């Protein structure tokens, strides 16, 4: 898959690790910043990932901030985006199976690196179940 990844300063270090993981797993990575731990505003780094996923340039996106909350709020302003802030394998799996999440948000200050690695793998590997979930998604999202 081609995956866009972005972070603010709170997520910068974890982003670097997740980007390397994605490459090791054989994915193509579009890293849209930030590129240091200097303080920045998370919406400025949500937008490029949102654009790449919404316009079909990338298959999926990953956004990382301190809690994952700011990134998910910003990303979900676009009706083509279903951004899920996940903290464990269960929420990561269900965000794909039931919600067809196309952006994964992570809170680098909430979860450890090991949990992040596991849930990124699960999120990438889990297909959307479709069926009744598709009609629910269509009520709030442009698919």
* Residues near ligand RB5, by CB under 6 A: 8, 10, 42, 65-67, 69-70
Given a contact cutoff of 8 angstroms between Cβ atoms, the answer to whether 45 and 10 are in contact is no
Work out how close the CB of 64 gets to ligand RB5 at its nearest, in angstroms, rounded to a whole number.
8
Backbone angles phi, psi at 107, to 5 degrees: -105, 105
Catalytic residue among 34, 65, 86, 105: 65
**Phi, psi (degrees; rounded to nearest 5) at 104:** -100, 125
Cα–Cα distance, 30 to 137 (Å, whole number):
27
In the complex, residue closest to ligand RB5 by CB: 70
Tokens for 136?
A: 């629910």
Q: Looking at beta carbons only, is 9 or 60 nearer to ligand RB5? A: 9
Contact present, 53 and 79 (Cβ < 8 Å): no
Cβ closest to ligand RB5, residue 32 vs residue 67:
67
Q: Which is nearer to ligand RB5, 86 or 137 (CB)?
A: 86
CA-to-CA distance for 98 and 16, rounded, in angstroms? Answer: 29
Q: Is 98 a catalytic residue?
A: yes
Min separation Cβ 43 and ligand RB5, Å = 10
The reply to whether 65 belongs to the active site is yes
Which residues are part of the catalytic machinery?
Answer: 65, 98
């Amino acid at each position: 898959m081609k995956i866009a990844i972005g972070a603010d300063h709170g997520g910068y270090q974890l982003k670097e690790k997740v980007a390397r993981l994605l490459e090791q797993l054989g994915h193509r990575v579009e890293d849209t910043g930030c590129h240091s731990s200097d303080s920045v505003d998370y919406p400025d780094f949500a937008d490029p990932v949102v654009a790449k996923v919404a316009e079909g340039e990338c298959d999926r996106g990953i956004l990382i901030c301190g809690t994952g909350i700011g990134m998910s709020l910003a990303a979900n302003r676009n009706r083509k985006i279903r951004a899920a802030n996940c903290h464990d394998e269960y929420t990561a799996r269900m965000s794909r199976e039931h919600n067809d999440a196309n952006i994964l948000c992570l809170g680098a200050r909430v979860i450890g690196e090991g949990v992040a690695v596991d849930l990124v793998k699960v999120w990438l590997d889990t297909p959307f179940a479709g069926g009744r979930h598709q009609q629910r998604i269509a009520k709030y999202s442009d698919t």
